[in-house]
Structure 1
Amino acid sequence: MDDLFQHEPRKPLAEALRPGSLDEVVGQAHLIGPGKPLRLAVESRTPHSMILWGPPGVGKTTLARILARSFDAEFIPLSAVFSGVKDIREAVERAQALLAQSGRHTILFVDEVHRFNKAQQDAFLPYVESGLLTFIGATTENPSFEVNSALLSRAQVYVLHSLSDEEMRQLIGRARDSGTLAGLSFDAAAESILIGYADGDARRLLNLLEQVRTAAQVRGATTVDAAFLGEVLTLNARRFDKGGDAFYDQISALHKSVRGSHPDAALYWLTRMLDGGADPRYLARRLIRMAWEDIGLADPRAAEVAMNAADTYERLGSPEGELALGQAVIYLAVAAKSNAGYNAYNEARAFVKKDRSREVPVHLRNAPTRLMKELGYGKAYRYAHDEPHAYAAGETYLPDGMEEPGWYRPVPRGMELKISEKLAFLRQLDAQAKQQE
């Protein structure tokens, strides 16, 4: 009787189709194509430390393994999720032993290196510096924020991209050519759906193909169409990390689309974030911020619309309340734009922060007591409502000796066009009053 434990477990499709050379890699042509950095490193047989930065399933681990094989180097993989300083020390000891015994070099691969704290990252720095180890780190997070500067200075950062639709089709073709999809045909619509579900992630695409293959075997199906996929697959969320770069990149894209007056793009990024699981309340708060930062007094209704949308969501929740956020985004995108109020506030805040404490002019001070009146508080104050145009022409409201700063500069758009005209009229009254002094 066969011993069950003597059999090798069947490899997942993603592992079975893992490329063994740069020529077999799908995607990342900007790094592995002719004359590109990683291709040149392999051809020159000159390893160097690097950080591979990109989303999941784009080949970071695969490239690291291929590089180690191409350099005939020992490959020691560590996962920052499960490893600590002890594991790093053991890797260093193993690398030292290999070098002493056979002269063989070691590549230390650290997956999810952003999860190592500073002390852990510092632990292998001396050995990277001495040349004992060539370090290859993989991360889905921006190395500028997640990797310490000492390590960054010793490693070249390479950015990997999500696979394009055409590259995903190449991957499906490779799976078909390998025989793993024998007897199974996919129509064009089914391929497009799978590529959409995979969202640029090669590993996810291969896992989906394996799931479909298994379902087809159980059902005795030979053709895969959209209806079949709808029955055997669950919808995968788009790539979205609520605390990572994807989150902040998409928020940035939403804000810039609103600022750029592009309602369709703004709607796309809003719904993309909602689809990915972003908190609608957070998005509502960001819309209110956009209304004040990029629209301001050019259209004061924008802030009202944003506030009302936030209140509506609180009352209705998801998904009904999301409609209000969507319409608020459209309004903000098409509204007249002005950052005059935003700039004026920032300039005033910067001035006050570095300026001395100036006294309130006597004529602007309140005088609720007899002593204060005797000291001249409020004396010569002109009540604006009693003046022509409800404006005390020539009056000053800034501290004594402070020049007019001119922080608020309304733009010639929307409501601020009218504001600009009014301010110009009031300045004209001030000039006339000074001439009469």
Structure 2
Amino acid sequence: MFGDEKPLAERMRPSSLEELVGQSHLIGEKGVLRLSIAQGKVPSMIFWGPPGVGKTTIANIIANQVKAPFQTLSAISAGVKDVREVIQRASRGGKIILFIDEIHRFNKSQQDALLGAVEKGVITLIGATTENPSFEVNSALLSRCQVYTLKSLELDELKGLLHNALKKDEKLKKLSVEIKEYEALINLSGGDARKLLNLLELVIDSMDSTKKISITNDGVWEIAQQRMAMYDKGGEQHYDIISAFIKSIRGSDPNAAVYWLSRMIAGGEDVKFIARRLLILASEDIGNANPTALVIATNTFQAVTMIGYPEGEIVLSQCAVYLACSPKSNASYLAIKKANELVKSTGDLSVPLHIRNAPTKLMKDSGYGKGYKYAHDFPGNFVEQEFLPKEISGEKLYDPQNNPREAEFRKRLIAYWSKRYDYK
């Protein structure tokens, strides 16, 4: 047993950029954040990314590197008074780096209290959020901050964290531990490095340390289930239960969906957080199989934002049941992902001349818009012509799935585009 020692994730927290795993786009050799820190020019910023990918750690490292006083506030418990006290301290004693965890939980007045100090450079604000800052941080504060997106850790990076802990942690390196299977550790942690390391410690702590410890998937599942915690909207189970909720709806089980919804409501989960997830799911997992799902989800978000709890739970339940019972399609989701990959691999291809905008005579004389066929001038409001750059002509990105609504789409696409795209 490890007694009252700090959790493994805290003991293994990196103290330099070199020790940090992942986020090479920000802290790699040419990463924009590394260059900014090296120059000592650290702007106010917001880290946006999933839990356990290094947001708090990077903030600590920045403070150490630039040798600035570091103050931490949690948006869950801090108020305007706490913010003003930090600002007053900075005004008297020099610039402070203020780190606010879960900054999306600050309301408008709390965020407004930061504006003047950030704008005047009295404090350097570093906010951390798992939510899209465009939705949760007011525009005035957002315009004064640089937003950095942190990425989920890759499988090899997560495995590396486990091996590094066994090799370097003072407690664990004294034990004989072999990780035979990784799937349960990684799946239960959901890609959260902090959760992964603490789960590893929990598993080891639950086994006989006098013998060689062999970690398997079955062993991890058994120990994790025995220690399953109650829902805590500020803790790790927050992400597990929203995951269960979404996957239940995606799996067309309204019973499980309503159960997990009730768990979140009982735990005091933010009504907008739940509604936003339903809104995303309506497009990502249902899409054009039932376009009304997006309308229902949008109306749900607006309704619960206005009425809150307790009545809002009825609206959320109605929406969750409707989405769970809807036909499913992720064809639109897959289409934009394929398009994103295509853009990355082919770069900025030229727009074909015949579909370019031609607002001036010079552009028209240069061939802009020449040969464009106006669809409404043709029978059925359709005429075949090329809309993609010639380098990727015929590249099919949207593939309708097997449901009644998209079956209609497929029939129309076959009639229109079977010569150009691979629609069958």
TM-score (norm 2): 0.59
SS at match of 1:52: strand
What residue number does 1:226 align with? Answer: 217
1:188 to 165, 180, 185: 180
Cα distance in 1, alignment partners of residues 405 and 115 from structure 2:
50
Over the matched positions of the two proteins, sequence identity in percent amounts to 41
Asked if the contact 1:336–1:413 (Cα under 8 Å) also holds between the matched residues in 2, the reply is: no
Asked if the contact 2:288–2:405 (Cα under 8 Å) also holds between the matched residues in 1, the reply is: no
Deviations 1:22-80 (A, max 9, x none): 11111111111111121111111111000111121111111111111111111011111
Cα distance in 1, alignment partners of residues 222 and 326 from structure 2:
43
SS at match of 2:71: strand
Cα distance in 2, alignment partners of residues 152 and 91 from structure 1:
20
What residue number does 1:212 align with? Answer: 203
What residue number does 1:334 align with? Answer: 402
What residue number does 1:11 align with? Answer: 6
Give the deviation of 1:215 after TM superposition: 0.7
Asked if the contact 1:48–1:155 (Cα under 8 Å) also holds between the matched residues in 2, the reply is: yes
Matched, 1:20 2:15: yes
Give the deviation of 1:281 after TM superposition: 6.1
Task: Kindly provide the amino acid, as one letter, of the partner of residue 198 in structure 1.
Answer: S
2:286 to 255, 264, 276: 255
Matched, 1:128 2:130: no
Asked if the contact 2:176–2:211 (Cα under 8 Å) also holds between the matched residues in 1, the reply is: no
Matched, 1:285 2:276: no
Asked if the contact 2:45–2:146 (Cα under 8 Å) also holds between the matched residues in 1, the reply is: yes
Matched, 1:144 2:134: yes
Matches within 5 A, 1:76-87: 76-87=71-82
What residue number does 1:106 align with? Answer: 96
Asked if the contact 2:288–2:406 (Cα under 8 Å) also holds between the matched residues in 1, the reply is: no
Moved over 3 A (4+): 217-221, 235-239, 244-251, 256-260, 279-284, 287-291, 336-339
Higher deviation after alignment, 177-186 or 160-169: 177-186
Deviations 1:340-371 (A, max 9, x none): xxxxxxxxxxxxxxxxxxxxxxxxxxxxxxxx
Asked if the contact 1:255–1:290 (Cα under 8 Å) also holds between the matched residues in 2, the reply is: yes
Give the deviation of 1:257 after TM superposition: 8.3
What residue number does 2:85 align with? Answer: 90
Q: 1:248 to 1:24 in 2, by over 3 A?
A: farther
Give the deviation of 1:200 after TM superposition: 0.7
Asked if the contact 2:21–2:157 (Cα under 8 Å) also holds between the matched residues in 1, the reply is: yes
Q: 1:163 to 1:338 in 2, by over 3 A?
A: closer
SS at match of 2:73: strand
What residue number does 1:368 align with? Answer: none
SS at match of 1:163: coil
What's the Cα RMSD here?
Answer: 3.3
Q: 1:40 to 1:257 in 2, by over 3 A?
A: farther
Q: 1:215 to 1:335 in 2, by over 3 A?
A: same
Task: Kindly provide the amino acid, as one letter, of the partner of residue 186 in structure 1.
Answer: E
Give the deviation of 1:221 after TM superposition: 5.1
What residue number does 1:5 align with? Answer: none
Task: Kindly provide the amino acid, as one letter, of the partner of residue 254 in structure 1.
Answer: D
Asked if the contact 1:199–1:239 (Cα under 8 Å) also holds between the matched residues in 2, the reply is: no
What residue number does 2:158 align with? Answer: 168
Deviations 1:408-427 (A, max 9, x none): xx86828x99xxxxxxxxxx
Deviations 1:225-279 (A, max 9, x none): 233223322277747367256554444321248589xxxxxxxxxxxxxxxxxx8
SS at match of 1:61: helix
Give the deviation of 1:218 after TM superposition: 6.3
Task: Kindly provide the amino acid, as one letter, of the partner of residue 411 in structure 2.
Answer: R
For structure 1, list consecutive stretches of 5 or more residues without a partner in the other structure: 1-7, 100-104, 261-278, 295-331, 340-409, 418-437
SS at match of 1:107: strand
Tell me the number of residue pairs that the alignment of Structure 1 and Structure 2 aligns. 277
TM-score (norm 1): 0.57
Asked if the contact 1:240–1:247 (Cα under 8 Å) also holds between the matched residues in 2, the reply is: no
Q: Which one has a bigger Cα radius of gyration? A: 1
Matched, 1:74 2:55: no
